[in-house]
Amino acid sequence: MNRLSLWMLRLILLAVLATTATAADFDYALKPRQIAEGTWVLLGRNEDFTFTNGGNIVNTAFVVTGAGVLVIDTGPSRLYGEQLRRAIAAITDESIVKALNTHHHPDHFLGNQAFPAQLISALPPAIRGIATEGRGFTDNLYRLSGDAMKGTEVVVPSQPIEPGEFSIGGHRFEAFSLDGHTASDLVIYDHTTGVLFAGDLVFNGRTPTTPHARIGRWLASLDRLDALAPRIVVPGHGEISELVGSNIGAISQTRNYLHWLESTLLRAAQRGLDMTEVMTLPLPPEVRGLAVIEPEFRRSVGHLYPAAEQDALAHPHQH
């Protein structure tokens, strides 16, 4: 090997080492918050994906049951999953016995690498979605979140979970198979503590995302959640919501936003506005305070407006 080749090799090795160190040094600063007996939540930021937050815009959670730990969502990267495991180990010496992915969006499953594959479960349609779309999601998140994503690869859940009750230690859980945010949204209700892990069917203080949304189905799912009358709601994004009764808190906030979004798009379609005009409509006070409202509204127009136009054309006098 000549001197120039050796010099080039050293440069390449230094670049690789620098990249690895940058990823390894990224600190998500995960701080579990106890919200009920044995129940801990790690709140993500009410932001878009950025290099600064490393994709940490999602809420994850775990329940220490006395017979092992149940993890709900694993986060946006391999590194997040590893730091989540360390955060759990700082709370309890119980082993992790199950890790759930609530749906197939990448911030909820790309931490799977940090967990034993045989422990990871999701609803069957979500498993298929992760298998078929996961690689594309991962590539996109690399672009949006930077070095924190280094070394992240898709791990598809190996165990399907079916709707119904199951118990771990002193906790009686119930799994619900719902939809609307995506084609398959897993919700976990802990009957023992009254905590509802709602996944991305519920947002709190942050604008709901809609890349796979069907608003009518989503609203029906929110009615199902409201009927449970949970004591505490853990949304997929945003602050924890404590409910005193129905129509209070994050479920109601998400419902109200979806009603507003649906009606806004339908009225715009009836007026014959084009997509660019819809994206520049003024936002009313009741939604303007939601985090990330302007970019999420524009994205929702792109996701949902073509269907609203078709609906307005097919049923011109029904709205």
pLDDT in tens, 140-157: 999 999 999 999 999 999
Q: What average pLDDT does range 10-26 have in this prediction?
A: 50
Per the CATH hierarchy, to which homologous superfamily does domain 24-247 belong? Ribonuclease Z/Hydroxyacylglutathione hydrolase-like (3.60.15.10)
For residue 313, the model assigns a pLDDT of 84
Per residue in 54-73, pLDDT (tens digit) is 999 999 999 999 999 999 99
Q: Average pLDDT, whole number, for the chain?
A: 91
Q: Is the pLDDT confidence value at 9 over 70?
A: no
Is residue 24 very low, low, confident or very high in pLDDT (cuts 50, 70, 90)? Answer: low
Lateral strand order in the sheet of 159-160: 33-36, 39-42, 60-64, 69-72, 96-100, 120-122, 159-160
> Is the backbone of residue 120 left (phi > 0), alpha (psi -120 to 50) or beta?
beta
Enumerate the domain spans of the chain: 24-247
Nearest-CA neighbor of 106 among 53, 34, 156, 39?
Answer: 156
For residues 201 and 225, the answer to whether their CB atoms sit within 8 Å is: yes
DSSP, residue by residue, 54-122? TT--S-EEEEE-SS-EEEE---SSHHHHHHHHHHHHHH--PPEEEEE--SS-GGGTTTGGGS-GGGEEE
For residue 242, the model assigns a pLDDT of 72
Using N-to-C axis directions, what is the helix angle for 250-270 and 293-314, rounded to 10°? 50
Tokens of 30: 């995960």
For residue 250, the model assigns a pLDDT of 94
Instruction: Tell me which of 23-37, 171-185, 199-213 is least confident.
Output: 23-37
Q: What single letter denotes the amino acid at residue 214?
A: R
Query: Phi first, then psi: what are they for 240, rounded to 5°?
Result: -65, 140
